[in-house]
Amino acid sequence: MRPAVFFDRDGVLNEDDGYAFEPSKIRWIKGAPEAVRAVNQSGYLAFVVTNQSGIARGFYGEHQVHALHEWMAAQLADVGARIDEFAYCPHHPEGTVTEYRQTCSCRKPQPGMINELSKRHSVDIHRSIMIGDKQSDLEAASAAGVTGHMFRGPDLKEFVAPLLKQLPRIR
């Protein structure tokens, strides 16, 4: 079992400009690619867990989320970083798209995305952390048994570096 760092996406890896789905409009948070690379180099798995209610609201489709995540993965690869898996929740109880209008276990603050990734990748929950920018991120982490950390900017690499020093080393 390996520990992981779970990242929220909007507001942690990229600026939260509201309903982001177009690569041309994505602005990385300062130090984000380097923070992901540092997590990789520490031997931790790196995951993204993101609520994407824009799908339920009809602003964009799942294929656009997949395309954005592929673009982000390619951008990260250019600096020697990788996300081991992107997970997203397309649901919202007030969505306008019927198939996505629901209450679910994957929408943060519920822990569903973290739990599923943990099972699929044999994650050591007790040595893992979540980095988010909203209380719902920390609540999801807590519900999954993961220690949550609130990121308020401005530089993700500077935020992550001391956390990695506190985490147990991977052998």
> What residues act catalytically?
8, 10
Amino acid identity at 4: A
> What radius of gyration, in Å, describes the C-alpha atoms of the chain?
15
Give the three-state DSSP class for 12: coil
Terminal alpha carbon distance of the chain: 11
Q: How far apart are CA 107 and CA 81, in angstroms?
A: 26
Residue in this structure with the two tokens 């956390």, named with its chain if needed: 163
Extract the tokens encoding 47: 């995951």
DSSP 23: G
